[in-house]
Amino acid sequence: MAVDQAKPGATAAGAESAEALGAGLEAVGYLPSDTVSLVSYLAIQMGKPVLVEGPAGVGKTELAKALARHTGRELVRLQCYEGLDEAKALYEWNYKKQLLRIQTGAAGDGQATDQWDSVSDNIFSEEFLLERPLLHAIASSDPVVLLIDEIDRTAHEFEALLLEILSDFQVSIPELGRIEARTHPIVLLTSNDSRELTEALKRRCLYLWLDYPAPERELEIVRLHVPELDEQVAKRLVEIVRMVRELDVKKPPSIAESIDWARTLLLLGAKQIDRETFEQTLSIIVKHRTDLDLVAERVGVKLADRGAGPAGA
């Protein structure tokens, strides 16, 4: 396990500029906005974690995956949930193995005190440690991308646990001492903004707000994921999704829904999005009972009936 001094930047992903990094991300199938490229570039150069916030399905998790693909690094992912604790996130002692070790020691001859001293030193060594994602990311000899996904699902106390890692890239284990990162991970934390994160955590991170993309960008993303879909249909799809987002719906459709809708329309062989097609496939982009009615009423009526040709928005 690594106990050397951290070397921030020594293993940075090496892009020369934000534009170069943006191009690199595009090459691995992620179409970033200029802000995304810039913040990611700064994070790598400055060796700082990025807190990525934004609505569901706008590409927060995918950004971390794309950074890992682009840099050729392993993606270490910690999926957060309510009740996540140190033992699942950081490290745990391998109690079974420790017990076995103690039993093996006890089976020997009678020098009980001597044996206990050597056994107790021994069982709190790295051999008996179970690495969880955070420790794995810190201790890895090759630099990794660490994704701490949906941090807002955890309790405030969990954030305190992260502070040491995020500012000093080190972990303190009482029985073992300090483990410092040998290589500098690229760290992304994502949040759906379901609760306010602590100031202490925010202060340690660069901040990136990911929102729904501009229409041209969303069209490119849809075309990237579903290239077989007719371009005019894809364009119309993006326009309609935008109209739906402007309504006061409980859950506006995200990029993930746009992509799913594009796949659906392709499967159905739709040549245009008329009112019937829209109503048939509405549940792909709208997933609340009350939203369904609202959207059918406010957007459906603006679409042409089958055979009547495309209607203006």
Q: Which residues contact ligand ATP by CB under 6 A? A: 30-32, 56-62, 192, 221, 224, 255-256, 259
Tally Cβ neighbours within 10 Å of residue 306: 11
Least Å distance, CB 150 to ligand ATP, is 7
Which candidate, 173, 285, 185, 200, places its Cα nearest to that of 240?
A: 285
Output 7 or 217, the one with its CB closest to ligand ATP: 217
Output 30 or 261, the one with its CB closest to ligand ATP: 30
Output 61 or 154, the one with its CB closest to Mg ion: 61
Least Å distance, CB 149 to ligand ATP, is 7
Q: Answer with the entry of ligand ATP, Mg ion, none that 255 interacts with (C-beta below 5 to 8 A by kind).
A: ligand ATP
Output 11 or 37, the one with its CB closest to ligand ATP: 37
Output 37 or 61, the one with its CB closest to Mg ion: 61
Least Å distance, CB 121 to Mg ion, is 43
222-251 residues in contact with Mg ion (CB under 5 A) are none
Cα distances from 43 to residues 108, 130, 136, 150, 303, in angstroms, run 55, 29, 20, 19, 44
Output 26 or 152, the one with its CB closest to Mg ion: 152
Q: Is 191 in the site for Mg ion (CB under 5 A)?
A: no
Q: Answer with the entry of Mg ion, ligand ATP, none that 31 interacts with (C-beta below 5 to 8 A by kind).
A: ligand ATP
Least Å distance, CB 260 to ligand ATP, is 9
Q: Answer with the entry of Mg ion, ligand ATP, none that 59 interacts with (C-beta below 5 to 8 A by kind).
A: ligand ATP
Q: Answer with the entry of Mg ion, ligand ATP, none that 192 interacts with (C-beta below 5 to 8 A by kind).
A: ligand ATP
Which candidate, 287, 296, 299, 281, places its Cα nearest to that of 243?
A: 299
Residue nearest to ligand ATP (CB): 59
Q: Is 254 in the site for Mg ion (CB under 5 A)?
A: no
Stretch of 17-25, 45-53, 60-68, 196-204 contacting Mg ion, by CB under 5 A: 60-68
Q: Is 61 in the site for Mg ion (CB under 5 A)?
A: yes
Q: Answer with the entry of Mg ion, ligand ATP, none that 186 interacts with (C-beta below 5 to 8 A by kind).
A: none
Read out DSSP for the chain? ---SPP-TTTT----SSHHHHHHHHHHTT----HHHHHHHHHHHHHT--EEEE-STTSSHHHHHHHHHHHHTPEEEEEE--TT--HHHHTEEE-HHHHHHHHHHHHTS-S-HHHHHHHHHHHHTSGGGEEEPHHHHHHH-SS-EEEEEETGGGS-HHHHHHHHHHHHHSEEEETTTEEEE-SS--EEEEEE-SSSPPPHHHHHTSEEEE--PPPHHHHHHHHHHH-TTS-HHHHHHHHHHHHHHHHS--SS---HHHHHHHHHHHHHHT-SS--HHHHHHHHHHH--SHHHHHHHHHHTGGGSPPTTS-PPP-
Stretch of 57-65, 233-241, 244-252, 259-267 contacting Mg ion, by CB under 5 A: 57-65
Which residue ranges make up the site for Mg ion (CB under 5 A)?
61
